Amino acid sequence: MNLIGNMNFTDGGVCAAKGFKASGVYCGIKKSASESSSPKNDIGMVVSDVICNAAAVYTLNKVKGAPITVTKENLAKTGGKARAVIANSKNANTCNADGKEKAFRMCELTANELGISPEEVIVASTGVIGQILPIEPIERAVPKLVEKLSYDGNEQAVTAIMTTDTVKKEVAVTFEVGGKTAVIGGMAKGSGMIKPNMATTLNFITTDCAISTKMLQKALSEVVKVTYNCLSVDGDTSTNDMVCVMANGLCKNEEINAEGKDFDAFKNALYTVMMNMTRMLAKDGEGATKLLECECVGAPDLDTAITVAKSVIGSNLLKCAMFGADANWGRVLCAVGYADAQFDIEKVDVSMSSAKGSIDVCKDGAGIEFSEETAKEILLEDEIVITVKLNAGTASAKAWGCDLTYNYVKINGDYRS
């Protein structure tokens, strides 16, 4: 993982910040023979000891899961306040006539057990689209979730939101703000159906930093632009994506309600958590064997740098080349060329690097001589960086993805079975 700025990693994920508990259980939303002996958690909960300021960003897909609609309405009714999260896997509760009713019912069940308002609950679902969500297993599970809530329950919760994920994804950091030590921690799920523009995943972030809802939303929206929105696995934008942040203020710093040194410190810590989870999501792409990072440097502005980096990382031809450890730089230049941005292609340089070293493959928009054997050795590593130099300014940005393999097709060929 990468540490950005004056902070330290810590354990605990969504439970790392003061005052947050979590839990997860198996309730049987989707039964299968493989789960009969050792079933995996399929529903989880995160709860703060006190009410939180909350902010969220959602999928841009016109088809939105019912939980997205309900969470939006809840946060609007409370003025950006929340106390708990309930999330399930194995069923997206999307494109169902009774979807909204069941999503709000999940909020009611949670609220009744916690003694809070249903509108103070964030609800999320992930899994198969277009299948009716059985509410009965959830009704039985919620009391168990509340009973199992623990300040060490982060692993149970993060396991509960995994679908085709092969590893749990959680990050937490400590940082200094207003003379106090604060914590931001998060958990994420996502492996397939991932394309930039609210990165087709579920992401829940908690902090004990005191920050207003307005500034929390500002920080989240700005950081999403350069992290989750710069992530692509397969080019499909899901229907249920959301990232939510809850801030309970138990760090006791003076509340951040304007831009300045404290806001910058918070935003930097939030970026560190979200950037590392973005990398985890990319590396665990369905069937992936390699994490790909494209860094665009020397751009005239940030938006151009982001557009170019995302264009490269979203190229399926490039993803295939990286799977085969083929330094086919023409695929990089092709993706740079169809990026919706203005720059001089005849000034573009491209290099590829990994733990095995770095090699230049293109200069001033044209190929140069390089050792194919050395390039192969570099590209056989499991983390590859592709650097695109526009030589047109000082702005830079990164985007993340993975290679495209035979296993991706296999996984998605029988996803519903």
CA–CA separation, 306 and 2 (whole Å): 19
For residue 96, the SS3 value is coil
Burial of 225 (0-12, 13-18, 19+ CB in 10 A): middle
The closest alpha carbon to 399, from 411, 388, 390, belongs to 388
> Choosing from 78, 159, 163, 200, which is the catalytic residue?
200
Residue 159, amino acid: T
Cβ-based neighbours of 146, under 8 Å, separated by 6 or more: 23, 45, 47, 110, 113, 114
- Inter-residue contact 109 to 225 (CB < 8 Å): no
Strand duo 383-389 + 291-299: pairing: parallel
**How many Cβ atoms sit within 10 Å of the Cβ of residue 367?**
12
CA–CA separation, 333 and 327 (whole Å): 12
CA–CA separation, 168 and 87 (whole Å): 15
For residue 85, the SS3 value is strand
Backbone CA torsion sign across 108, 114, 120, 124: negative
Tokens matching residue 380: 């056989």
Phi and psi (nearest 5°) for 266?
-65, -45
- 227 in catalytic set: no
Residues taking part in catalysis: 200
